[in-house]
């Protein structure tokens, strides 16, 4: 009997949060859903964070993922953008941790490499490869949703490999692995 599991992939953002779900049966992945949470119409950054948290909880409670794969913030020149992106990722992670769903972070390069074989691939190249891999009929207008799906597929491809990214099974594990960042 082959084991089944559901992986939720999240591309956090304060303008658009993309997400995708795959079901893994044995060694085969099946597409379940991809979508996005559009936050452009909201001006209040804290409201956006609340909505990201609530949508992530809703996804977890609806689909019961066994694992979450999340894209780690990339290092850019704009410190304010990095801070906002880190907060978006943090509240999505907090939602998963509050439901005790194991989380693994992947860098954007690692995700692109897993999907296309090229760590510098464009969003369009990643989306087209996912379309081919999962037999998607159409692609969304915004590619944040496919970026979320790509995180889930990357996690599937990296299962069982050592040192895939940072993984957290709950708050205790998160605190223990980040003791150097936590003020005592």
**Per-residue model confidence as pLDDT tens digits over 153-167:** 999 999 866 444 455
Mark the binding-site residues, compressed into ranges.
11, 71, 144
Query: Among all residues, which ones are annotated catalytic?
Result: 11, 71, 144
Q: Is the pLDDT of residue 106 over 80?
A: yes
| Euclidean distance between CA atoms 138 and 9, whole angstroms | 19
Proportion of the chain above pLDDT 70, given as a percent: 84
Six token digits for residue 103: 């989380």
Residues 108-136 as b or e (16 or more Cβ within 10 Å = b): bebbbbbbbeeeebebeebbbbbeeebeb
2-28 mean pLDDT: 93
CA atoms within 13 A on the CB side of 5: 15
Confidence of residue 170 (pLDDT cuts 50, 70, 90): low
Six token digits for residue 124: 């369009």
Proportion of the chain above pLDDT 90, given as a percent: 73
Mark the binding-site residues for Mg(2+), compressed into ranges.
11, 71, 144
Confidence of residue 181 (pLDDT cuts 50, 70, 90): very low
Six token digits for residue 125: 């190249």
Q: What is the value of pTM for the model shown?
A: 0.85
| Cβ(111)–Cβ(154) below 8 Å | yes
Share the mean pLDDT of the chain. Answer: 88
Which residue in 57, 70, 49 sits closest to 148, CA to CA?
70
| Cβ(17)–Cβ(39) below 8 Å | yes
pLDDT at 167: 57
Model confidence pLDDT, tens digit, residues 31-55: 999 999 999 999 999 999 999 999 9
Six token digits for residue 165: 């990214």
């Amino acid at each position: 009997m082959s084991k089944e599991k559901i992986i939720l992939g999240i591309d956090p953002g304060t303008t658009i949060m993309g997400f995708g779900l795959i079901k893994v049966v044995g060694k085969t992945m099946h597409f379940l859903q991809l979508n996005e949470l559009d936050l452009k119409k909201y001006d209040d950054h804290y409201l956006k964070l609340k909505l990201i948290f609530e949508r992530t909880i809703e996804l977890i409670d609806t689909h019961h993922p066994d694992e979450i794969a999340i894209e780690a913030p990339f290092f850019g020149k704009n410190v304010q953008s990095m801070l906002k992106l880190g907060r978006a990722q943090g509240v999505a992670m907090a939602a998963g941790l509050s439901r005790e769903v194991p989380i693994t972070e992947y860098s954007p390069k690692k995700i692109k490499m897993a999907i296309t074989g090229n760590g510098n691939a464009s969003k369009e190249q990643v989306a087209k490869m996912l379309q081919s891999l999962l037999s998607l009929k159409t692609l969304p207008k915004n590619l944040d949703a496919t970026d979320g799906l790509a995180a889930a597929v990357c996690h599937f491809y990296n299962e069982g490999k050592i040192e895939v990214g940072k993984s957290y099974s709950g708050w205790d594990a998160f605190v223990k692995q980040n003791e150097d960042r936590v003020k005592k």
